[in-house]
């Protein structure tokens, strides 16, 4: 079994300092990220308290608070359309769409638990495939949004599961862009493994911090989203945390390339830069995105895609 562990501040190296929360104008606190090279894993340090974490989501426009995509549908000019087309032609990522889920979750009427279900969009997909779903969500606004769709959702966190599910068992447990938010992701995955029936499926997707976008854009990278994101995974550390919890990893998939060149993604990174007083930063110029396209052309998946997903089984 893998020996995954949380960051040790006495041995980890400083990776990045994020000068505030770009979504909350009054938060100008420096957030330091430490990196453990041996595990290919990083964490915000010092660790925030649970009450502090809840404040990070007190936002009017967070994507889990509605059924609208946070990334908009801007009308693109000719040059933008060319760049989008070129990146799309290279995008061989595996999207977690309805067809993908139908091939991963085989059978009918399976019991599926999504921890951190957000607005319930995935629960709706699972229901449409004929499965019985339960969600867990800590954010009251997102929880209400999911319940408004008719889903059974309990309030709780991945580390402190609600009593309604903690003694139950499921055929599938899902974390979609959740582990990066957890105060203790190892406890979260261990809890999930304990809830799985033998032979049950485990699915987890997180931002991929081995992506060259993380290196090129640094604190301006849209997928960084500190301080809501507290943990920074790569393929290696995501596989390791699953294995450490008794999950046999069967598949790894990457997704999220073309969207890094979309006008809405660029607009978000420009907004981040402006919030940090870096509106003229060379990393977000038009030429910088063309260089990034060249840099990522033909590179390995772990360097190209912004997200990584594992599918595993509880033996």
pLDDT at 63: 59
> Which H or E element spans position 44?
strand 41-45
> Which H or E element spans position 170?
strand 170-176
Q: Where are the domains of the chain?
A: 13-70+77-313
Task: Look up residue 128 and give its two tokens.
Answer: 């449409």
Rounding to the nearest 10 degrees, give the CA dihedral for residues 127, 130, 131, 136: 0
pLDDT at 59: 83
d(CA 233, CA 73): 29
d(CA 231, CA 181): 7
Bond before 46 cis per omega within 30 degrees = yes
Residues contacting 213, CB < 8 A, separation 6+: 221, 223, 260, 292, 306
pLDDT at 65: 52
Please tell me the pTM assigned to this model: 0.93
Task: Provide the CA 93 distance to its chain's centre, in angstroms.
Answer: 15
- Tens of pLDDT along 249-264? 999 999 999 999 999 9
Rounding to the nearest 10 degrees, give the CA dihedral for residues 41, 45, 46, 47: -50
Count CA within 13 A, CB hemisphere, residue 166.
10
Residues contacting 70, CB < 8 A, separation 6+: 61, 62, 63
Closest to 177 (Cα-Cα) out of 219, 135, 233: 233
Closest to 64 (Cα-Cα) out of 181, 172, 161: 181
pLDDT at 239: 98
d(CA 315, CA 298): 36
Enumerate residue ranges in the chain where pLDDT < 50: none
Task: Look up residue 98 and give its two tokens.
Answer: 């309805």
d(CA 35, CA 190): 22
What does residue 260 show for φ and ψ, rounded to 5 degrees? -65, -15
pLDDT at 315: 97
pLDDT at 67: 56
Residue with tokens 């319930």: 120
Is the CATH number of domain 13-70+77-313 3.40.50.150? yes
- Tens of pLDDT along 154-200? 999 999 999 999 999 999 999 999 999 999 999 999 999 999 999 99
Residue with tokens 């300092």: 17
Q: How many CB atoms lie within 10 A of CB 44?
A: 21
């Amino acid at each position: 079994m893998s020996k995954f562990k949380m960051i040790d501040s006495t041995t980890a190296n400083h990776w990045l300092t994020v000068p505030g929360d770009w979504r909350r104008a009054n938060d100008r606190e420096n957030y330091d990220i430490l990196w453990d090279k041996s595990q290919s894993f990083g964490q915000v340090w010092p660790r925030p308290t649970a009450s502090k974490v809840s404040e990070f989501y007190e936002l009017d426009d967070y994507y889990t608070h509605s059924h609208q995509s946070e990334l908009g549908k801007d009308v693109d000019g000719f040059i933008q359309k060319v760049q989008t087309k070129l990146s799309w032609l290279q995008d061989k990522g595996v999207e977690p769409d309805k067809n993908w889920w139908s091939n991963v979750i085989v059978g009918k009427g399976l019991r599926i638990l999504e921890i951190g279900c957000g607005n319930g969009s995935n629960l709706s997909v699972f229901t449409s495939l004929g499965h019985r779903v339960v969600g867990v969500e800590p954010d009251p606004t997102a929880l209400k949004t999911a319940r408004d769709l008719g889903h059974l959702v309990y309030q709780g966190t991945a580390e402190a599961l609600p009593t309604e599910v903690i003694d139950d068992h499921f055929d599938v447990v899902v974390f979609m862009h959740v582990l990066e938010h957890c105060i203790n992701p190892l406890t979260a995955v261990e809890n999930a493994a304990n809830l799985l029936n033998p032979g049950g499926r485990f699915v987890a997707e997180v931002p991929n911090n081995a992506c060259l976008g993380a290196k090129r854009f640094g604190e301006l990278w849209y997928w960084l989203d500190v301080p809501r994101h507290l943990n920074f995974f790569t393929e290696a550390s995501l596989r390791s945390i699953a294995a450490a919890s008794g999950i046999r990893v069967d598949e790894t998939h990457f997704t999220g390339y073309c969207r890094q060149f979309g006008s809405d993604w660029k607009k978000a990174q420009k907004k981040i830069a402006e919030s940090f007083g870096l509106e003229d930063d060379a990393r977000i110029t038009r030429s910088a995105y063309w260089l990034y396209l060249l840099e990522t052309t033909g590179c390995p998946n772990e360097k190209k895609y912004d997200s990584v997903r594992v599918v595993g089984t509880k033996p």
